[in-house]
């Protein structure tokens, strides 16, 4: 089984390599970042979500479950991207979250030359399963979106 922190870091690096996505982060690639559990300093994902700046994308490993792929037993690593869109103003099109989701799935990292859906994020994993996106609400009642990703490990390291 792979070290999932490597998977998350590789995902963040690829997302930072999509010029249009970085542009949506006000040109600041550091607004696309990983959340790694580190007790006791980083022991609350809910707090990390609450503290996300707008705009930003935060990647967090959610867990690993057994799965099946081509008749073989495999590990499926679940990663969630938490999205906060940039501030919009009167007259702006209401497409901020849609645009982020499209760039996460269809954006092309400069180093990869293919859309994210077709890129092997980690050398020991197949490209991501087709992701889902859903609305969520933080403790203050502010909405954000979560993109659920799954990566099937090729073999068992």
| Residue 113: per-residue pLDDT | 94
Average pLDDT of 21-50? 94
Q: What torsion do the CA atoms of 43, 49, 52, 54 make, to the nearest 10 degrees? A: 170
Is 147 within 8 Å of 102 (Cβ atoms)?
no
Please name which of 100, 113, 104, 107 lies closest in space to residue 26, comparing C-alpha atoms.
100
- Banded pLDDT at 157 (limits 50, 70, 90): low
For the segment 13-22, the average pLDDT, to the nearest whole number, is 98
**pLDDT (0 to 100) of residue 93:** 86
> Average pLDDT of the chain?
94
pLDDT digits (tens, 9 = 90+) for 91-132: 888 889 999 999 999 999 999 999 999 999 999 999 999 999
For the stretch 78-89, pLDDT in tens is 999 999 999 888
Element (H, E) at 88: none
Name, in order, each residue with C-beta under 8 angstroms of 36's C-beta and a sequence gap of 6 or more.
5, 8, 42, 61
């Amino acid at each position: 089984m792979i070290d999932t922190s490597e998977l998350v870091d590789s995902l963040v690096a690829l997302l930072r390599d999509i010029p249009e996505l970085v542009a949506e982060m006000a040109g600041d690639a550091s607004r696309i970042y990983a959340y790694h559990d580190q007790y006791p300093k980083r022991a609350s994902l809910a707090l990390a979500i609450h503290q996300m700046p707008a705009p930003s994308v935060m990647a967090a490993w959610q867990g690993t479950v057994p799965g099946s792929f081509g008749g073989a037993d495999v590990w499926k690593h679940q990663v969630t991207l938490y999205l906060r869109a940039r501030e919009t103003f009167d007259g702006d099109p209401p497409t901020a979250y849609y645009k982020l989701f499209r760039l996460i799935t269809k954006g092309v990292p400069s180093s990869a030359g293919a859309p994210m859906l077709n890129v092997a994020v980690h050398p020991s994993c197949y490209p991501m399963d087709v992701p889902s996106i859903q609305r969520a609400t933080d403790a203050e009642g502010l909405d954000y979106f979560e993109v659920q990703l799954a990566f099937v490990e090729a073999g068992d390291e």
